[in-house]
Amino acid sequence: MTAVNVYQQRPNGAARAESPLYHAGLDELAGKGSPQAGVRLREKKLLGHLVLRGNAKDPAFAAGVHRALGLELPVALTLVARGETSLQWLGPDEWLLIVPSGEEFAAEQRLREALVGQHISVVNVSGGQTLLELSGPKAREVLMKSTPYDVHPLNFPVGKAVGSTFAKTQLVIRHVSEDTWELLVRRSFADYVWLWLQDASAEFGLAIQA
């Protein structure tokens, strides 16, 4: 094991955890939208986000990641998932691992154990970003209004994930299933994206899901 100080960052019980969109009161808005709404929005809040860096060309690195997570390292612009756990390519030497709430500490330890001795980095960024799930028949139209990237299924199939500009900010768009997209939003931009999505989806009708 290395000299890196790995510790449990998630508060247990006593301290209240607030997601980046806590102030928006999404839980209270949930279920109040029209059932025919063209766009549905859900915050997948307080998940465990880990940024993993290492040498993709090193077979020992890929093998270690597979041993720790049971997932293959995804190639450029893709995302692999198993259950609630997903591993996404962010750059040629950088990946994002998203695990269910509370599992990030164990996942980080497993990764460090499997990659011991290698030139790698694992950083817990759970508090710095959040995931918004956009679904419904008009979700793609909202994306078309927001980003210069071509979100047509021919160019953006399920399993692809790209970083691009979005409205006046930047975020990562992940295509998880046919009508479902995820937006990876930085904490300080969460409010702006939330306001933008409300405005952009007003013409289609927006329903919040818990």
Q: For binding to another protein (CB under 8 A), which residues are involved?
A: 76-77, 90-92, 94, 148-149, 162-165, 170
Residues whose CB is less than 8 angstroms from the CB of residue 163 and which lie 6 or more positions away in sequence, other chains included: 90, 170, 171, 172, 173
Burial status of residue 62 (CB atoms within 10 A of its CB: 0-12, 13-18, 19 or more): middle
Report, in Å, the least distance between residue 148 CB and another protein.
4
Report, in Å, the least distance between residue 179 CB and another protein.
24
Nearer to another protein, 91 or 128 (CB): 91
Report, in Å, the least distance between residue 17 CB and another protein.
28
Q: Are 17 and 10 in contact (CB under 8 A)?
A: yes
Q: Which two tokens stand for residue 93?
A: 């030497």
Nearer to another protein, 96 or 206 (CB): 96
Nearer to another protein, 149 or 192 (CB): 149
Reduce the DSSP state of residue 39 to 3 states and report it. Answer: strand
Report, in Å, the least distance between residue 163 CB and another protein.
4
Nearer to another protein, 13 or 92 (CB): 92
Please report the sign of the dihedral spanned by the C-alpha atoms of residue 12, residue 113, residue 2, residue 86.
negative
